[in-house]
């Protein structure tokens, strides 16, 4: 088909399928029986797709070249719009009133793109038994684009959503708890990954006071400022006894191995290891100084434990790890 889309038209929590088709040709109708192939809707019944086109009144047999879904009348269910070649478009307004509940999430990017394209929205039901995912797409169908909203059908339960998570293209993650159903929720991305990290770890009162959230502040007094705590994926309110860089003996005589933890930082942010002989003049280590040979994943998003080999006989007495932040 020229257009196909999975969407939850009956808000029961599983994805149904709609498709439009049609092909313009100079050949006889008998040679191209799909020229007026009608638009179809299949209802998902627990994993089995049932053709309900006639049941719900979808009978357009134009030369379909695209379709999209959106909440045309803003009543909480998804409507279907068909684009036909050489004839007018068709709008099927969804007036199903089956009592099922819903939630619509509108991402608004600030650090990522404004429409939140590439964002993944996940909801977990109140009992934790149901998990649904939606990705905001920028290329839904041929010649058409569905609305950039994550729509969730919730079935008969009116209980709040236990947990809602938005993962942005920037890597920022936001979580919301006990979210009310039957609403349109606009989620605004924080200004930067660092800002999102602050919101995750500090209360509104602490953020408002402004003292503990400065990049050079050290709320837990462990000698690591907020910039380093952020870059290393640490908790800024819990003192860490280990140093950012651990120097170990390698397998060969005189070989030194550096072991450090760092976050994979997006766009304009980075981790840098610097060297010095006198604690005054610091220079960045480059590929001729260090060879990273392993990166071990951790449970925290974007945080890895790296192991690097210190190359050559460098006149290095001191090493430090810095986080370069550019908002």
Q: Mind listing the domains of the chain with CATH numbers?
A: 1-98 (no CATH), 102-189 (2.60.40), 193-326 (no CATH)
Maximal C-alpha separation, the chain? 87
Q: Is 14 exposed, middle or buried (0-12, 13-18, 19+ CB in 10 A)?
A: middle
59 has pLDDT over 90: no
pLDDT attached to residue 268? 63
Cβ-Cβ contacts under 8 Å for 258 (sequence gap 6 or more): 245, 246, 247, 248, 273, 290, 306, 307, 308, 309, 310, 319
The pLDDT tens digits of the residues spanning 273-296 come to: 888 888 888 888 888 888 888 888
219 has pLDDT over 80: yes
Q: Give mean pLDDT, residues 169-191.
A: 91
165 has pLDDT over 90: yes
What pairs with residue 270 in β-bridges?
A: 324
What are the φ and ψ backbone dihedral angles of 55, each rounded to 5 degrees? -60, -40
Q: Which of 164, 207, 169 is nearest to 185 (CA)?
A: 164
Q: Provide, for the chain, the percentages of residues in helix, strand and coil under a 3-state DSSP scheme, each rounded to the nearest 5.
A: 10, 40, 55
pLDDT attached to residue 136? 94
Mean pLDDT of the chain: 85
Q: Which of 118-122, 193-197, 253-257, 259-263 has the highest mean pLDDT?
A: 118-122
Percentage above 70 pLDDT, the chain: 91
Contact between 156 and 208 (Cβ < 8 Å): no
Hey, is 35 helix, strand or coil?
coil
29 has pLDDT over 60: no
pLDDT attached to residue 303? 82
If one counts every other C-beta atom within 10 angstroms of the C-beta of residue 212, the result is: 18
**What are the DSSP calls for 71-107, one per residue?**
-TT-SSS-EEEEEETTS--EEE--------EEEEEEE
pLDDT attached to residue 252? 80
Contact between 79 and 70 (Cβ < 8 Å): yes
Whole-angstrom distance, CA of residue 139 vs CA of residue 134? 14
Q: Give mean pLDDT, residues 31-47.
A: 79
Contact between 292 and 262 (Cβ < 8 Å): no
What are the φ and ψ backbone dihedral angles of 136, each rounded to 5 degrees? -80, 120
pLDDT, greater one: 70 or 173: 70
Decide: pTM greater than 0.75.
Answer: no
Q: Give mean pLDDT, residues 314-322.
A: 76
pLDDT attached to residue 124? 93
What are the φ and ψ backbone dihedral angles of 88, each rounded to 5 degrees? -75, 160
Confidence of residue 78 (pLDDT cuts 50, 70, 90): very high
Tokens representing residue 175 in the block: 């979580």
Confidence of residue 16 (pLDDT cuts 50, 70, 90): very high
Whole-angstrom distance, CA of residue 292 vs CA of residue 142? 44
Number of residues written out for the chain? 327
Least confident of 29-38, 47-56, 63-72, 138-147: 29-38
Confidence of residue 177 (pLDDT cuts 50, 70, 90): very high
Whole-angstrom distance, CA of residue 199 vs CA of residue 113? 21
């Amino acid at each position: 088909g020229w257009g196909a889309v999975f969407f939850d038209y009956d808000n029961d929590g599983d994805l149904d399928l709609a498709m439009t088709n049609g092909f313009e040709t100079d050949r006889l109708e008998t040679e191209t029986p799909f020229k007026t192939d009608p638009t179809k809707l299949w209802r998902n019944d627990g994993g089995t797709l049932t053709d309900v086109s006639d049941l719900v009144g979808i009978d357009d047999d134009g030369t379909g070249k695209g379709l999209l879904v959106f909440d045309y009348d803003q009543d909480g269910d998804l409507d279907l719009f068909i684009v036909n070649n050489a004839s007018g478009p068709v709008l099927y307004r969804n007036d199903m009133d089956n009592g099922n509940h819903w939630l619509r999430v509108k991402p608004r990017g600030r650090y990522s793109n404004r429409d939140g394209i590439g964002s993944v929205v996940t909801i977990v039901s109140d009992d934790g038994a149901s998990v649904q995912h939606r990705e905001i797409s920028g290329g839904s169908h041929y010649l058409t684009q569905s609305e950039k909203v994550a729509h969730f059908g919730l079935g008969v339960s009116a209980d709040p959503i236990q947990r809602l998570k938005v993962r942005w293209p920037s890597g920022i993650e936001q979580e919301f708890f006990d979210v009310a159903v039957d609403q349109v929720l606009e989620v605004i991305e924080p200004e930067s990954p660092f800002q999102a990290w602050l919101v995750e770890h500090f209360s509104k009162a602490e953020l408002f006071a402004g003292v503990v959230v400065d990049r050079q502040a050290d709320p837990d007094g462990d000698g690591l400022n907020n910039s380093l705590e952020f870059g290393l994926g640490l908790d800024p309110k819990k003192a860490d006894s280990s140093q950012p860089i651990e120097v170990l003996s390698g397998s060969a005589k005189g070989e030194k191995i550096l072991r450090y933890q760092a976050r994979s930082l997006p766009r304009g942010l980075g981790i840098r290891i610097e060297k010095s002989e006198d604690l005054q003049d610091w220079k960045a280590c480059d590929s001729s100084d260090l060879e990273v040979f392993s990166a071990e994943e951790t449970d925290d998003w974007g945080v890895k434990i790296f192991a690097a080999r210190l190359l050559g006989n460098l006149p290095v007495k001191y090493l430090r790890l810095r986080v370069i932040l550019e908002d």
